[in-house]
């Protein structure tokens, strides 16, 4: 079967489209999936405007990107249109192509359908925002419905597409490389952790979506009740606002912000709790990675993935989006009941079987092959 897949794929070019690579969870999946496909597909390209991530792709993959570093500094929406121009030019050169879109799904689908090109869409975040505006709802529904295949990474996500837009999707869970996570977690960290304190960690871009301000408000409420250290790992436009809140509320000795790490696993391993405070997510890799490392998780119940990963609270704590008062209580709860709550960690760890690395990657290849 694998030989047949390889032979068939030689007949068509695969173009992976992701205009803005920012180093988050979506990109982790991008790197894993792309580098898996490199040995299965002879002619594979990646179109992006983020040149600095070229070394994360195999040399077997053709990397199509503006050469000047200037382009990587423009805004995400501008990158979408630059990326679409690059895609348009590539399709004009060779129309015998299948597009695999990771980002800018509506724009990319519209372009591909106008040019008569087949497209697979991988939707990475909940469609809730599109459903709140009637015009966007209609655009989202009718444009994405024309895609040849839509892939989502959670069952909750799949249900939302069906109920809100009457669109059928394929669910493929994130491929989780447990061995790599465990190996990298053993690398010695330069960051020191005080074992006498409760060590809390958050990993994510400094953006409105990740809402680390809610986390800071929560720990500010308990700063005089327990001894803790909070480490926030990331980068982004909200960094100045987060630093200002830390200084204004005398949290400097308790909260540390550090730049995004290629290997955050050793930091997660040394922590007691991983906290996700996002307003919305797809299926956040970082929660799965924390479960691999057997860490207790507290997460917002944002759409769509956290509830599914935490089994509606059986494998960790959930709090309403933005509810920093509840989050502060949950942190205190864990600090007082670590032993009894360890059962939740075990439940989460056992349920990682859904995220089988090879099986989920093979599912991507099967879908690609079906559209050749």
List pLDDT tens digits, range 115-134.
Answer: 999 999 998 776 666 666 78
DSSP secondary structure of 226-266? S-EEEEEEE-STTHHHHHHHHHHTT-TTTEEEEE--S--HH
The string of pLDDT tens digits covering residues 72-112 is 888 888 999 999 999 999 999 989 999 999 999 999 999 99
What are the C-alpha distances in Å from 33 to residues 22, 102, 153? 16, 11, 13
- Reported pTM: 0.81
Q: How far apart are CA 200 and CA 277, in angstroms?
A: 13
> Which pLDDT value is given to residue 47?
96
Residue 101 three-state SS: strand
Band (36; pLDDT cuts 50, 70, 90): very high
- The strand pair at 273-276 and 198-203 is best described as parallel
The string of pLDDT tens digits covering residues 263-290 is 899 999 999 999 999 998 888 889 999 9
CB 80 within 8 A of CB 104: yes
| Token representation of residue 354 | 């859904």
Q: Above 70 in pLDDT, residue 305?
A: yes
């Amino acid at each position: 079967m694998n030989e047949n897949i390889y032979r068939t794929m030689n007949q068509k070019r695969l173009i992976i489209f992701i205009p803005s690579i920012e180093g988050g969870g979506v990109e982790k999946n991008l790197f894993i999936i792309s580098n898996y496909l490199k040995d299965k597909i002879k002619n594979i390209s990646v179109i992006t405007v983020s040149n600095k991530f070229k070394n994360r792709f195999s040399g077997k993959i053709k990397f199509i990107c503006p050469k000047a570093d200037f382009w990587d500094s423009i805004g995400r929406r501008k990158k979408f249109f630059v990326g679409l121009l690059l895609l348009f030019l590539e399709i004009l050169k060779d129309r015998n192509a299948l597009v695999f879109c990771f980002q800018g799904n509506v724009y990319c689908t519209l372009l591909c359908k106008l040019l008569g090109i087949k497209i697979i869409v991988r939707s990475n975040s909940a469609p809730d925002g599109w459903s709140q505006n009637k015009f966007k709802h209609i655009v989202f529904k009718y444009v994405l419905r024309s895609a040849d295949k839509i892939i989502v990474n959670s069952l909750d996500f799949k249900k939302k597409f069906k109920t809100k837009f009457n669109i059928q999707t394929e669910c493929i869970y994130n491929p989780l490389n447990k061995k790599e996570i465990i190996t990298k977690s053993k690398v010695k960290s330069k960051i020191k952790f005080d074992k006498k304190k409760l060590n809390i960690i958050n990993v994510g871009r400094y953006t409105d979506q990740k809402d680390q301000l809610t986390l800071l408000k929560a720990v500010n409420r308990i700063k005089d009740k327990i001894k803790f250290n909070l480490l926030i790992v990331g980068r982004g436009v909200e960094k100045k606002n987060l630093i200002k809140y830390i200084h204004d509320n005398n949290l400097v000795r308790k909260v540390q912000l550090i730049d995004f790490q290629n290997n955050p696993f050793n930091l997660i391993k040394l922590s007691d709790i991983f906290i996700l405070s996002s307003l919305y997510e797809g299926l956040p890799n970082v929660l799965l990675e924390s479960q691999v490392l057997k860490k207790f998780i507290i997460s917002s119940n944002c759409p769509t993935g956290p509830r599914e990963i935490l089994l509606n609270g059986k494998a960790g704590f959930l709090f309403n989006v933005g509810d920093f008062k509840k989050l502060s209580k949950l942190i205190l709860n864990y600090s007082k009941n670590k032993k009894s709550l360890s059962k939740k960690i075990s439940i989460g760890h056992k349920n990682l079987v859904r995220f089988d690395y090879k099986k989920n990657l093979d599912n991507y290849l099967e879908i690609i092959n079906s559209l050749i």
